[in-house]
Amino acid sequence: MFRPSIIMMLMRSGVFRLIMKLMRDRRVPVRAKLIIPAAIVYILLPFDIVPDFVPVSGQIDDILVTLVAGAMFLSITPKDVLMEHLGRPASNKRRSGKIIDGEYRVLDDEDTDTEKGSKSA
């Protein structure tokens, strides 16, 4: 069965809290919200791909289902909503900063030599 230490690790990292906030947000699609309950049902059901009585691999499939479900949920969630809940501005927003406007011109070595020659004559 699923180890409580994995749940504690997810809670400490903040991923659990982020997923819970996103589950309550109306802007997240329903198909994304169905991934998390499906993963929970898979973990709680006694039928697994690899039975839990197998020493190590029985728990690994539960961990993989949890990680894949979380990754799928976060990848389907709209990026702007995800960034808002993370407290970061979306990358497509315009950066506020100083704009420096200027002009430039390219001088060749020949142009500078002719300018010097015309001034001395």
Which pLDDT does position 5 carry in this prediction? 63
pLDDT score, position 22: 92
- SS3 letters across the chain: CCCHHHHHHHHHHCHHHHHHHHHHCCCCCHHHHCHHHHHHHHHHCCCCCCCCCCCCHHHHHHHHHHHHHHHHHHHHCCHHHHHHHHCCCCCCCCCCCCCCCCCCCCCCHHHHHHHHHHHHC
**Tokens 């504690």 — which residue?**
8
- Residuewise pLDDT in 10s, the chain (121 residues): 455 666 666 667 788 889 999 999 999 999 999 999 999 888 888 777 777 677 777 778 888 888 899 999 999 999 999 899 888 776 555 555 677 888 888 888 775 555 555 555 4
pLDDT at 24: 93
Token pair 């903040």 in the structure block, residue: 14
pLDDT given at position 89: 72
What pLDDT sits at residue 42? 86
